[in-house]
């Protein structure tokens, strides 16, 4: 994604324009293979909802998206045999169901007082619950709707007894579904009420559409459901996950200019506009806790800013929450480049937040890959600007995410240490580096997938995979994956690299080899590959590697040559390794194996 200033205006799409967008998108991409497929099946006609899901996903995601409809009312069979319904390898499946579509008469009888009907309903729905309960970890991510929106029209809508029985049934279904999905990381529930939260219309059902098309919803409701599901799927699988949030101070973290109004004059706290800035700080803090790294970039006297952090009791954010503090009178682009160098993270993983359109324009003009958000000049509109932006949508996060600020602070200690060493080589020698390489276990899948999808600079192929795809790949015969973690005298690096090796009978194939940028420059990658090859087995074969060049991963190609791979078949991106060698050249890295 190139330079982008986030337009905070909500996408104002009508049902017809959403359907039109999806038709046009499909026509334009008809000949391309989908990169992300969603399958929908339901107890009613889901085509309209499916189109809205597709339209929204196509707007949000930077991938070729396909949305397919399963056969109508085949939900029981589909739960057990979804592959037969969808022509492509679906990453996500959505099951939309309503009790009244499946057991209409029993539902009405139950609501009108028959307890026997409740048993019949439970019996009828049992296969559905069993299917969900049996949903395997190797299957695609499944999203299941919970219960319906309204009482059936044929019962007395005003009866409190009927309303009570209806509520009872909804709770029963909810608890049964919750029990079915317990412990399943690839199944989630979504309620109609949460999907319809943003609709302005009080009436969601459309009797005419139900009679004519077996679609129970108004067109606006179908749009709201589609958008909600698309956002949920996007958050789970396709979200842009920027790593660093760079923040201005005045009129961003607090109201007013501290250099003019003083520490006590800024707007922050329970009164008037200060409340909105405090809420915004809470929003930033929660992103930090999810692993987003914070940095300050402000034209200010650093002593003024430090004093706000030190003495203003309303500050939610602390000075230590930020890993970089570029508070000076230099240009913001130069300060952002300094932050990039300090963190060893490319600017395309940065989101810059400032109230000044001048500063934003200067930054995005100078650093083409930075994304930016302008803080609204009406304070009440500030809270929520980060969560409505597409930059921090990931729903899953690992231990590494929570500890990222600590990891980067220890990295800062390394940088300071490097500055007092005589040479870089001496600095590396004295780091007391240790690497641990071991086979990937099931509990590593989340972190492995995250590394596969987030690592840009040192990544052999940059092929992105979902957790399910990683699990499937590692489950194939002859495929073995390894995860590396490292530490030095300043602290742990956490899990830093992934290597996946495939036995192709004649040779081994390096399917994936990647390492987090924070571990680069220490020759850990050489020892990691040594160790992965050693652990793969004693029978050493030639190793092939196919380098997939991107705008960012040139360091990987250089590594292959340095390691000893050679290009072959006249293709500069196909590499072959024919010999063995120890690459722990300086002997400065202890491996877990050596420890043992």
Residue ranges in contact with another protein by CB under 8 A: 14-16, 19-20, 23, 27, 45, 47-48, 208-209, 211-213, 215, 219
- If DSSP codes are grouped into helix, strand and coil, which group holds residue 202? coil
- If DSSP codes are grouped into helix, strand and coil, which group holds residue 373? strand
- In 3D space, the residue among 72, 66, 97, 70 whose CA is nearest the CA of residue 86 turns out to be 70
The CB density around residue 81, as the number of other CB atoms within 10 Å, is 11
| Nearest distance, CB of residue 45 and another protein, angstroms | 8
| Nearest distance, CB of residue 16 and another protein, angstroms | 4
| Nearest distance, CB of residue 226 and another protein, angstroms | 13
Residue pair 303/257 in contact by the 8 Å Cβ criterion = no
In this complex, which beta carbon is closest to another protein, that of residue 13 or of residue 461? 13
Q: Write b or e for each residue in 6-24: b if 16 or more Cβ atoms lie within 10 A of its Cβ, otherwise e.
A: beeeeeebebeebbebbee
| Nearest distance, CB of residue 101 and another protein, angstroms | 17
CA 114 and chain centroid, separation:
47
| Nearest distance, CB of residue 211 and another protein, angstroms | 6
In this complex, which beta carbon is closest to another protein, that of residue 20 or of residue 283? 20
In this complex, which beta carbon is closest to another protein, that of residue 75 or of residue 221? 221
- In 3D space, the residue among 441, 437, 536 whose CA is nearest the CA of residue 479 turns out to be 536
DSSP 299-312: ES-HHHHHHHHHH-
| Nearest distance, CB of residue 145 and another protein, angstroms | 20
In this complex, which beta carbon is closest to another protein, that of residue 45 or of residue 141? 45
In this complex, which beta carbon is closest to another protein, that of residue 16 or of residue 581? 16
First to last CA, the chain: 45
- Phi, psi (deg, nearest 5) at residue 577: -115, 120
CA dist., res. 317 & res. 380, Å (int) = 19
Residue pair 259/307 in contact by the 8 Å Cβ criterion = no
In this complex, which beta carbon is closest to another protein, that of residue 197 or of residue 208? 208
Token match 């001048």: residue? 358
Token match 């600590």: residue? 406
In this complex, which beta carbon is closest to another protein, that of residue 27 or of residue 378? 27
Residue pair 457/516 in contact by the 8 Å Cβ criterion = no
| Nearest distance, CB of residue 86 and another protein, angstroms | 18
| Nearest distance, CB of residue 299 and another protein, angstroms | 48
Question: Which one-letter DSSP state was computed for residue 382?
Answer: -
| Nearest distance, CB of residue 41 and another protein, angstroms | 15
Q: In terms of C-beta distances under 8 Å and separation of at least 24 residues, what long-range contacts does 213-220 make, across chains too?
A: 213/45, 214/44, 214/45, 214/72, 215/44, 215/45, 215/47, 215/48, 216/44, 216/98, 217/48, 217/49, 219/15, 219/16, 219/48, 220/15
In this complex, which beta carbon is closest to another protein, that of residue 211 or of residue 432? 211
CA 178 and chain centroid, separation:
24
Residue pair 108/152 in contact by the 8 Å Cβ criterion = yes
In this complex, which beta carbon is closest to another protein, that of residue 44 or of residue 559? 44
In this complex, which beta carbon is closest to another protein, that of residue 204 or of residue 340? 204
- In 3D space, the residue among 189, 186, 199 whose CA is nearest the CA of residue 225 turns out to be 199
In this complex, which beta carbon is closest to another protein, that of residue 20 or of residue 122? 20
| Nearest distance, CB of residue 246 and another protein, angstroms | 42
| Nearest distance, CB of residue 32 and another protein, angstroms | 18
| Nearest distance, CB of residue 375 and another protein, angstroms | 35
Question: Which one-letter DSSP state was computed for residue 269?
Answer: S
In this complex, which beta carbon is closest to another protein, that of residue 49 or of residue 187? 49
The CB density around residue 43, as the number of other CB atoms within 10 Å, is 22
| Nearest distance, CB of residue 11 and another protein, angstroms | 16
The encoded tokens of residue 517 equal 């940028």
In this complex, which beta carbon is closest to another protein, that of residue 153 or of residue 211? 211
- If DSSP codes are grouped into helix, strand and coil, which group holds residue 205? strand
Q: Which helix (H) or strand (E) segment is 515 a member of? A: strand 508-515
The encoded tokens of residue 428 equal 């590396």
């Amino acid at each position: 994604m190139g330079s982008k200033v986030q337009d905070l205006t909500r996408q104002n799409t009508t049902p017809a324009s959403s359907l039109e967008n999806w038709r046009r998108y499909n026509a334009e991409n008809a000949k391309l293979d989908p990169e992300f497929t969603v399958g929908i099946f339901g107890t009613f006609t889901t085509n309209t909802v499916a189109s809205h899901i597709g339209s929204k996903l196509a707007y949000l995601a930077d991938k070729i998206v396909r949305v397919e409809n399963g056969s109508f009312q085949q939900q029981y069979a589909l739960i057990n045999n979804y592959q037969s319904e969808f022509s492509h390898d679906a990453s996500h499946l959505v099951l939309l169901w309503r009790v009244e579509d499946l057991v209409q008469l029993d539902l009405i009888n139950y609501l009108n007082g028959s307890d026997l009907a409740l048993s019949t309903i439970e019996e009828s729905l049992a296969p559905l619950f069993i299917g969900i309960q049996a949903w395997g970890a190797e299957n695609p991510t499944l999203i299941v709707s919970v219960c319906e929106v309204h009482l059936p029209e044929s019962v007395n809508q005003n009866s409190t007894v009927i309303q009570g029985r209806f509520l009872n049934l909804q709770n029963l279904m909810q608890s049964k579904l919750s029990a079915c999905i317990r412990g399943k990381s690839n199944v989630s529930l979504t309620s109609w009420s949460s999907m319809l939260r943003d609709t302005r219309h009080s009436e969601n059902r459309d009797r005419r559409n139900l009679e004519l098309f077996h679609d129970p919803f108004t067109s606006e409701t179908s749009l709201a459901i589609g958008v909600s599901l698309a956002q949920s799927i996007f958050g789970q699988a396709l979200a842009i996950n920027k790593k660093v949030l760079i923040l201005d101070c005045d009129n961003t973290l607090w109201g007013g200019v501290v250099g003019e109004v003083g520490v006590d004059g800024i707007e922050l706290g329970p009164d008037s506009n200060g409340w909105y800035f405090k809420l915004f700080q809470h929003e930033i803090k929660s992103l930090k806790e999810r692993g987003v790294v914070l940095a300050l970039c402000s034209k200010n006297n650093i002593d003024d800013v430090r004093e706000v952090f030190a003495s203003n009791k309303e500050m939610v954010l602390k000075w230590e929450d930020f890993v970089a503090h570029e508070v000076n009178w230099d240009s913001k682009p130069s300060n952002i480049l300094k932050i990039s160098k300090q963190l060893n993270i490319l600017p395309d993983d940065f989101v810059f937040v400032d109230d000044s359109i001048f500063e934003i324009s200067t930054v995005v003009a100078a650093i083409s890959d930075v994304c930016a958000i302008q803080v609204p000049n009406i304070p009440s509109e500030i809270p929520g600007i980060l969560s409505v932006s597409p930059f921090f949508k990931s729903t899953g996060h690992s231990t590494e995410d929570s500890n990222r600020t600590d990891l980067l602070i220890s990295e800062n200690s390394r940088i300071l240490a490097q500055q007092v060493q005589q040479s870089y080589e001496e600095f590396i020698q004295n780091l007391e580096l240790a690497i641990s390489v071991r086979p990937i276990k099931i509990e590593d899948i989340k972190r492995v997938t995250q590394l596969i999808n987030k690592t840009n600079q040192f990544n052999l192929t940059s092929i992105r995979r979902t957790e399910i795809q990683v699990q499937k790949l590692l489950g194939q015969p002859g495929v073995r994956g390894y995860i590396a973690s490292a530490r030095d005298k300043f602290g742990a690096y956490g899990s830093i690299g992934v290597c996946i090796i495939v036995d192709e009978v004649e040779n081994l194939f390096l399917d994936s080899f990647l390492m987090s940028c924070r571990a680069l420059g220490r020759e850990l990658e050489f020892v990691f590959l040594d160790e992965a090859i050693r652990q793969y087995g004693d029978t050493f074969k030639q190793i092939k590697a196919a380098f997939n060049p991107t705008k960012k991963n040139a360091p990987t190609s250089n590594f292959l040559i340095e390691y000893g791979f050679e290009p072959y078949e006249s293709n500069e991106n196909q590499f072959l390794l024919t010999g063995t060698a120890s690459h722990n050249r300086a002997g400065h890295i202890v491996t877990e194996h050596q420890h043992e």
